[in-house]
Structure 1
């Protein structure tokens, strides 16, 4: 199936949409290919997350959620592209909000799904407002694994530990530590600076003591 179906080619006939399906399962999906990529960044108590599946996986998701018409049961609307049908699907939006979530200290962070305009280029974009400034978060990414358990997502987190996390059907939630994201010194670095400063102060005390001893003599 040509990925341009979503990039701007109108679903002009039932045959075009049928090309995305096999025996009830989207044939365009490729769960055994490279993992989907997601990115997350924090600013105070705000969390920005983008989830960027491949074009064919958007087709698979839209087909499973009924965003596209089934040519075997009725006519296919040709006024809208596949991307526009995804953008207008309430089921797709609800699915994304349900399967991409963030929790802080056991409490859910309030989610806002951005408009799906340009979803092929930008992916699904969500903003989460957490109760307090972020240090650690439990991030859940289970999109697509209900279609096929072989799907995986790599989450890349800015200034966080771990910097990357692999999400699978059996590991749909990971804790990510953003305590370094505020720009402060990491504990190990701070300790090293403290030790260095203490060493310098000790050397200064020794020099002053020697000077006083020589003056007294």
Structure 2
């Protein structure tokens, strides 16, 4: 089901774009999972390997000539990468920013990047910004899954999201993915139908 959703999002980007050059350049969109406990919010962001490479290149993370470090280690140690992730993914509550702390980037492809946010009050509704990679190409998307679901794009990088506590492992994610699949596939079908009518 997850592959179906990601494939549908790519199709939407392709059919909805004014030109092929505006399509998503590196495959399926990144994902972000959010869980909440009281006043704390944990955001885990996952991106594909080539997306991490593009990000590192744009921030100069690979400029270090050392041959003893792998590309992943250079990303992990780059202050520019750390600043970028904290600037491009934020949370605020009732107009007040929730300070975020980026965890160690030990396994970029396996565990992704984790940011822990601490908000002023118990979390029910917050504004989440997921704009990573969108400055590199406006065709990038991020799918929010977990206690809520949403699609973040270059035109809607920041959205108000209502949350309801901690995500239940193995239960919330399939529900979010299934609901989102129906919405996205419906939009894709509408776009394709509209184009066919224009052609006719």
Match of 1:42, SS state, is: strand
Q: Distance in 2 between matches of 1:61 and 1:103?
A: 25
**Alignment partner, residue 42 of structure 2:** 48
Call closer, same or farther: CA 1:152–1:88 in 2, change over 3 Å: same
Q: Deviations over 1:151-209 (max 9, x none)?
A: 00001132xxxx3110111110111111x3379xxxxxxxxxxxxxxxxxxxxxxxxxx
Alignment partners' CA distance in 1, 2:25 and 2:31: 13
Cα distance between partner residues in 2 of 1:155 and 1:138 = 13
Q: Structure 1 residues 77 and 164 mapped into 2: Cα distance closer, same or farther (>3 Å)?
A: same
Shift of 1:125: 0.4
Unaligned runs of 5+ in 1: 1-29, 70-74, 184-217
- In the TM superposition, what whole-angstrom CA distance separates every residue of 1:34-76 from its partner, at most 9, and x where no partner exists? 111110010000000011100110000000000012xxxxx83
Structure 1 runs of 4+ off > 4 angstroms? none
| Mapping of residues 196-211 of structure 1, within 5 Å | none
Counterpart of 1:131 (choices 93, 116, 120) is: 120
Inter-partner Cα distance in structure 2 for 1:154 and 1:126? 16
Report the Cα offset of residue 119 of structure 1: 1.7
Higher relative contact order (CA 8 A, sep 6+): 2
**1:1-217 matches, cutoff 5 A:** 31=25, 33-69=27-63, 76-158=65-147, 163-178=148-163, 180-181=164-165
What secondary structure, in the 3-state scheme, does the structure 2 residue paired with 1:39 have? strand
User: C-alpha root-mean-square deviation of aligned residues, in Å?
Assistant: 1.7
> Normalized per residue, which structure has more helix?
2
Q: Distance in 2 between matches of 1:87 and 1:137?
A: 28
TM-score computed with the length of structure 2 as normaliser: 0.69
The structure with more radius of gyration: 1
